[in-house]
Structure 1
Amino acid sequence: MFFNRHLLSVTLLLGSGLLLSACGPTADEASATVISGKTMGTFYRVSVVGLDKSREPELRRQIEAQLAEDDHQLSTYKDDSVLSRFNQYNGTVPQPISSGMADAIVTSLRIGQKTAGAMDITVGPLVNLWGFGPNKEPVKMPTQAQIDSAKAEVGLQHLKVIQQSDGQYLQKDLPGLYVDLSTVGEGYATDHLARLVEGNGISDYLVSVGGAVVSRGKNPAGKPWQVAIQKPTDKENAVQAIVDLQGMGISTSGSYRNYYELDGKRLSHIIDPATGRPITHKLVSATVIAPTALEADGWDTGLMVLGTDKALALAQKEHLAVYLITKEGDGFKTNMTQQFKAYLRKGEKP
């Protein structure tokens, strides 16, 4: 499974204003088919309109098969996954990967370059050192020597995707390089589910894996699917803002739930590759709307690492639709780009 870094920080909302839980249909979805469950350490949900009930078992089978395949490709928790085998390989010969994984890594490398390394899929040794990967939480704070040792095994410049006539390959020039795709895994899987649903002739749907969501068409009430961004609190249904995706993908990364405490300090699961340590700034949530969930999922992590000021400046430079929530005193401050304002539900205050 993937490490669930989002922990359902995006809550689904139908046009009626009814909040939806992580799984299980609601009364407002009576005319829709809802298929949901657990996957990759989080929840998935597929809501489709106009599907004949007789087709539901087959669609569920396809969905679960697709999610199982994605987990087999990207999991760092399963020793026999494609990614785990690559991480276990201590050589530099290019290793075969799927076209889907190649796309995810190319997207990650591009976003990593644009964020000056803030989004780094090779940060796995540091993630594991701080206890947010397959390894258990440390019983004491890592030493600077341990951090420096892990940082020596990190760097996007050591990873390369090779496209050849017979397929795609992944190569590392640092034998100990460890790739962790949990930062884009939910978006990767969400896009696959969207394509699967469309392949079944369904044009009105909303699909999500963890905090990544894609929608197309209308909900059962004939209105646009909407998504509510949660306030950074422990209250499940506290809504910060509501957006109409308009056929786009959305993903949120947050530091306010996924943490543990060690030596009296709260440690976020989001690691800054530059320092080798969990982030300590006041940005608690970054939401990105993009053409695909994969793209949104990649950007939100990088922006979270950067912090509010740098994240907002980069989002404006790259013309990204971004919504940031920052801790300020006893409350929170929000910032958004002009591009994000276009997706706010009518009547929502910018």
Structure 2
Amino acid sequence: MTRLTGVILATLMLLGGCDGATPSDQAPLWRAEGKTMGTYYRVLVANPPAAALTGLNGAIEQQLAEDNHQISTWQDDTILSRFNRYRGTDPQPITTGIADIVSTALRIGAKTGGAMDITIGPLVNLWGFGPEKQPTKTPDAQQIESARARVGLGHLRLIETSNGQWLQKSVPDMYVDLSTVGEGYATDHLAALLEQRGITRYLVSVGGAVLTRGVSSSQQPWRVAIQHATDESVAAEAVVDLQGHGISTSGSYRNYYELEGKRISHVIDPVTGRPIDHKLVSATVIATTALEADGWDTCLMVLGTEKAKQLALQEGLAVFLITKTEQGFTTWMSPQFSSFIISQSDKGA
């Protein structure tokens, strides 16, 4: 089972557009949920056609297993693990799905000065957020520099031809980690599975990535709440109507551990080689696909509040940020995000 470094599902509370209704007083709502990729998935289908539900549970599980078999670094027999073990520089065959992820990651990485970097695997492993164990002491400068020498999007090349897709690395021991976009990738695939069965009213989520289409069983928009950025609180900072879009949140306040008296965030800055230590604690992005949203949210977390704001405005992104201050938490949203807002906590700034 792969372990993804995005924020767990609780960060995006799925309201489903039910307006407080209970299962007994709302129109039919089919659901499936469970564990996958080290996190949780959920599928909600409003007023589903009976024929479309035949074997749907099994098809969902099979799709998630196939995605996991492609991108997991926690299993030795996956396509990505085989690429990472390969100690050469010849192009290696990959699937269309992996090519889609890499293409998205390379594009976003180029626009962010490398803040989004799927070659960050050596640093992720060094700091204990990959398959390797957590360190017993803080990695020293030499260890960090050694890992950084194997990191960089310039060392990775995607080759796409009519005969297939290949991935090529110029550093033989480069280690690609797709966990920062895996949740969005899997969410989009579940949505495509539903569409293939003629289902057009649904909400699907894997971890911190969500995608919706149509309206809920109560004929209301599918609504998602962005959770307040603390370990304990379940209060909502904002509620959004996704309008058929994908949403993804990355944060520093759930996936971490303590080492030598310091909190070590799972969000690693590829430039410094170290976990982030700034005050931005949560970044949420709405985009046309869950993969696109998932690709942007982590790099915004790497950049920190001010640079994240600049990037959001520059790229026209729909972004919602939560920053910790001495007085508490403040929020900021881009103009594009405001069009999705249904309600917002009056504590935001």
TM-score by length of 1: 0.95
Mapped pair 1:86 → 2:87: no
Deviation digits for residues 138-175 of structure 1 (CA, Å, limit 9, x no counterpart): 01110100000000010000001101121011110110
**Residue 66 of structure 2 corresponds to residue 69 of structure 1:** yes
What is the rounded CA distance, in whole Å, between the counterparts of 2:19 and 2:204 in structure 1?
Answer: 18
Listed as ranges, the matches of 1:210-225 within 5 Å are 210-225=207-222
State whether residues 216 and 247 of structure 1, in contact with CA within 8 Å, keep that contact through their aligned partners in structure 2.
yes
Cα distance in 2 for residues equivalent to 1:289 and 1:272: 22
Shift of 1:50: 2.2
- Give the Cα separation in 2 of the matches to 1:26 and 1:132: 38
Q: Which residue of 1 aligns with 2:3?
A: 3
Residue type at the aligned position of 1:135: E
In the aligned structure 2, how far is the partner of 1:112 from the partner of 1:29?
44
String of CA shifts for 1:31-59, please: whole Å, max 9, x gaps. 11001111000000000012245653511
Percent identity of equivalent pairs: 61
Contact 1:47-1:205 at 8 Å conserved across structures = yes
Contact 1:18 1:28 (8 Å CA) reproduced: no
Q: Is the 8 A contact 2:52 2:198 kept in 1?
A: no
Give the CA deviation at 1:2. Answer: 2.9
The answer on 1:184 being equivalent to 2:185 is no
Please, which moves more after superposition, 26-35 or 56-65?
Answer: 26-35
Tell me the SS of whatever aligns to 1:345: strand
Q: Which amino acid aligns with 1:193?
A: L
C-alpha separation between the residues in 1 aligned to 2:243 and 2:73?
33
**Offset from partner CA, 1:79-109 (integer Å, 9 cap, x none):** 0000000000001111111111101100001
For the aligned residue pairs, the C-alpha RMSD in angstroms reads 1.7
Q: CA deviation at 1:18?
A: 4.1
Summarize the Cα distance change of 1:347–1:189 in structure 2 as closer, same or farther, 3 Å threshold: closer
Q: CA deviation at 1:346?
A: 5.9
CA distance in structure 2 between the aligned counterparts of 1:78 and 1:39, rounded to whole angstroms: 13
User: 5+ residue gaps in structure 1?
Assistant: 20-24
User: Is the 8 Å Cα contact of residues 236 and 345 (structure 2) preserved in structure 1?
Assistant: no
Superposed, 1:26-41 pairs within 5 Å as 31-41=28-38
- State how far apart, in whole Å, the 1-side matches of 2:19 and 2:56 are: 27
* Structure 1 segment 123-162 matched on structure 2, within 5 A: 123-162=120-159
Mapped pair 1:114 → 2:105? no
Partners of 1:283 and 1:308 within 8 A in 2:
yes
Secondary structure at 1:220's aligned position in 2?
A: coil
User: Cα distance, 1:188 vs. partner?
Assistant: 0.2
**Using a 3 Å threshold, how does the CA distance of structure 1 residues 324 and 251 change in structure 2: closer, same or farther?**
same
In structure 2, C-alpha distance between the alignment counterparts of 1:236 and 1:103, rounded to whole Å: 36
- Which residue does 1:13 correspond to in 2? 15
Residue 14 of structure 2: SS of its match in structure 1?
strand
Q: Which runs of structure 2 are paired with 1:44-55 in the superposition (5 Å)?
A: 44-52=41-49, 55=52
Q: Is the 8 A contact 2:281 2:301 kept in 1?
A: yes
2:302 match: 305
Label 1:233 to 1:346 Cα distance change in 2 as closer, same or farther (>3 A): closer
Contact 2:237–2:345 (CA under 8 A) maintained in structure 1? no
Paired position in structure 1 for 2:336: 339
Task: Write the distance in 2 (CA, Å) between the matches of 1:162 and 1:191.
Answer: 23
Contact 2:17 2:220 in 1 (8 A): yes
Q: 1:233, CA displacement in angstroms?
A: 1.4
Partner of 1:197 in structure 2?
Answer: 194
- Structure 2 distance, partners of 1:179, 1:250, is 24
Aligned equivalents of 2:94 and 2:203: distance in 1?
29
SS of the residue corresponding to residue 207 of structure 1 reads strand
1:272 aligns with 2:269: yes
1:7 counterpart letter in structure 2: I
- Letter in structure 2 aligned against 1:13: L
- What are the Cα deviations for residues 202-230 of structure 1, in whole angstroms up to 9, with x where unaligned? 11000000000000001010011011000
Q: How many residues align?
A: 345
Q: Distance in 2 between matches of 1:267 and 1:26?
A: 41
1:209 aligned to which of 183, 206, 211: 206
Structure 2 residue runs of 5 or longer lacking an equivalent are none
* Conservation of the 8 A alpha-carbon contact between 2:239 and 2:344: no
Query: In the alignment, is the contact (CA less than 8 A) between 1:131 and 1:138 conserved in 2?
Result: yes
Q: Counterpart of 1:22? A: none
Q: Shift of the alpha carbon at 1:348?
A: 7.3
Q: Which amino acid is 1:335 matched to?
A: W
Structure 1 residue runs of 4 or more that deviate by more than 4 Å after TM superposition: 25-30, 52-55, 346-350
**CA distance in structure 1 between the aligned counterparts of 2:74 and 2:58, rounded to whole angstroms:** 23
From the superposition, tell whether residues 348 and 263 of structure 1 become closer, same or farther in structure 2 (CA, over 3 Å).
closer
Deviation at 1:314, TM superposition (A): 0.5
Question: Counterparts of 1:127 and 1:28 in 2: how far apart (Å)?
Answer: 47
